[in-house]
Chains A and B, each alone.
Chain A
């Protein structure tokens, strides 16, 4: 036997590593979307400014606030798991889910008012992008909410703690933070750079 490292790592590392590999491909996928948008917008030479002014910066800012806060709550949940305070972890997870739902609700209000003002997904290429990018992001939020909800149910029932699967909150958190980061870039790209 040689002095090579013991290669079998503890189980929590499995999920984290797997999630990071998944996020790497997610970065490339959203990278593809953002690249298309950035290139088209650069090629338009400012031709989109007029139509892009009709997005609601106020609602966009509130949603940024909501998502940033939900990132805080899920990381607080992870922290609580590591400190063994399962009740606090459960509550923070609940707040994260709630904030995710608030985000989607605000997004829904935005979509409704935009479509009512005649800016539909096929109005012009800016609105093509606006709906495609925010729609895909919203889909990711929805998936995140479902994942968090499954964990939350496990936390309420207590199965999550009995089977020692608390680290799954950290893994779900990685995904949630990633979705948050995507929004951090979508916000200036779609709302602020007119």
Chain B
């Protein structure tokens, strides 16, 4: 609405500038703050769970509270950390800058999207403090456990959980509409589809996947809420409902959601790796096509979460096949990333370290995913710590390693100052080592038959052995280390906003359009609307004097 240079957005009061701003950069930063604070909440929940698991005799958490913490940890980390940072922050901040637009297509819708998200977050936090406590039916909210308040003893906690998720979905839908409309209609002159930075491609793919998959889950959530509030029986067997259908409808969205989080994470890597290796990206179009194929496949793999749910066994084989199939396009993208670094002159910045760390850890997650995806193997390891280890090896790299890589990379553009590199490296090593020490032993626990979501494993004899106990204690110490390892980041982040070294326009000597404007960019982003002459990864081009060639600089300008 404000696209053609309307003056409507010339806002200067404090409220309009920092709080109720419709500027995509401010909204992106608001999402970042929200995501980081919620990450802290999720981390603290994880600490209490780990303490309970290592020393069950300490009775840190009662089983009910433990269930609530498991549920809320999952919900917060996926929906209120990964989504706001990877889509809300990077998507909102970068898409208009990278395509050379002055803002989103619908700036006020964008603001509404953030504040809807914010209210959703508040409701979720609030649910801890209502009588009965927070939702305790797992982040998947499986019916019939979730369908009647008496089953978990949680009444309003779970209702609020559904409401806050509904607000979150509505917010991301608004964001997705904005992303798509912006990228389709507002690209700068010369920015054809195959000159778009891969980050934009990944954000768009994620937005499309989200918009097309979330519907059935919204439907199921409304029906579940009716079951709880009105007394209908959509998912209650005694009243003619079928709880299995909840699982189907949840995972129809729940699985694509993994890719909604993962693809923007990949987008971060695909920007950092070429800039950090001073080489063009390997297989630009192949990466795009692979992503699209993976996007299509992501809609037909969901039932691999349900091999032991009692669903029709005839469905297992088709879903096993599609699940293993989807690893092919992702493997292609990973290989393209590795080939991009191959023989490059690598600049091992903190952002680059985190990017490489993402690759290494995600690879483990991907490979173990093939175990889980095969129905025969899954029957053995289903619902054990093997699965916990697996999905932390996929989602932690996307949510944290890739997000940290992105934060270290785009911090100068967001705040106009540099993060301290030395402390960044310390943060990287603490996170990388800490993460692997926490989750690698969990594979072993899973193979030993250790079930998930147990508040007190020692109630089983086979989980009371000295070996299992010492592993649990080891994991807990590692997790404490991982949490403490975030302190350098927090201090570095807060300190650098006010006292960091002032950033220049293009500190990483990268090519995409956001580096061709001031740091931080002014309202309206560009002094002169850029014209795009090249694809975004023109590093070490023999035609140019320097080893980078910004997208908006024509070769004639440089050579003459």
Q: Which residues of A come within 8 Å of B, CB atoms?
A: 1-2, 4-9, 11, 13-14, 17-18, 21-22, 24-33, 35-36, 39-40, 43-44, 121-122, 124-125, 128-129, 132, 136
Contacts and interface: CB of A to CB of B under 8 A. Distances in A.
A125 B241 contact: yes
Interface residues of B, number: 48
Contact of B223 (A4, A14, A31, A36): A36
B454 interface: no
Nearest to A4: B192
Contacts of B220: 32, 36
A119 B47 CA distance: 50
B214 interface: yes
The secondary-structure label for the interface of chain B is helix
A33 B240 CA distance: 16
A7 B188 contact: yes
A122 B232 contact: yes
Which of the listed residues A9, A25, A31, A35 has the most CB atoms from chain B within 10 Å of its own CB?
Answer: A25
Nearest to B215: A28
Contact of A11 (B3, B212, B223, B241): B3
A12 B77 CA distance: 38
Given A24-B211, A31-B215, A132 B223 contact: yes
B189 A1 contact: yes
A32 B218 contact: yes
13 contacts: A2-B533, A7-B191, A17-B185, A21-B177, A21-B181, A24-B211, A28-B213, A29-B215, A30-B219, A33-B222, A36-B249, A44-B240, A125-B234
Interface in B223-267: 223, 226, 230-234, 239-242, 245, 249, 252
Which of the listed residues A13, A27, A43, A125 has the most CB atoms from chain B within 10 Å of its own CB?
Answer: A125
Contacts of A32: 215-220, 249, 252
B144 to A, nearest CB: 14
A36 B192 CA distance: 42
A4 B100 CA distance: 15
Nearest to A33: B219
B219 A17 contact: no
Contact of A7 (B189, B212, B213, B223): B189
Contacts of B234: 36, 125, 128-129, 132
B189 A6 contact: yes
The secondary-structure label for the interface of chain A is helix
A136 B190 CA distance: 45
Contact of B190 (A4, A33, A39, A121): A4
Contact of B216 (A17, A22, A29, A125): A29
B512 to A, nearest CB: 17
Given A7-B189, A7-B191, A8-B186, A132 B215 contact: no
Contacts of A128: 226, 232-234, 239
A144 B397 CA distance: 43
A11 B4 contact: yes
B92 to A, nearest CB: 16
A45 to B, nearest CB: 12
B185 to A, nearest CB: 5
Which 5 pairs between the two chains have the least Cβ-Cβ distance? Answer: A28-B215, A32-B219, A32-B216, A29-B215, A128-B232
B127 interface: no
B531 interface: yes
B178 A18 contact: yes
A109 B502 CA distance: 68
Contacts of A132: 222-223, 226, 232, 234
A69 B231 CA distance: 36
Nearest to B529: A8
B34 interface: no
B26 to A, nearest CB: 21
A153 to B, nearest CB: 19
Contacts of B230: 121-122
Contacts of B252: 32
Given A18-B105, A18-B177, A132-B223, A125 B215 contact: no
Interface string B180-198: 1100111111111000000
B311 interface: no
Given A17-B180, A32-B218, 10 more contacts: A4-B189, A7-B191, A25-B214, A28-B215, A31-B219, A33-B222, A36-B220, A36-B249, A128-B234, A132-B226
A4 B184 CA distance: 14
A13 B185 CA distance: 8
Contacts of B181: 14, 17-18, 21
A169 B477 CA distance: 61
B113 to A, nearest CB: 12
B173 interface: yes
A26 to B, nearest CB: 7
A35 to B, nearest CB: 7
Contacts of A25: 173, 176, 211-212, 214-215
Contacts of B233: 122, 125, 128
A149 B500 CA distance: 52
B31 interface: no
Nearest to A128: B232
A92 to B, nearest CB: 25
Given A1-B189, A14-B105, A17-B180, A35 B173 contact: no
Contact of B242 (A22, A27, A33, A43): A43
B201 interface: no
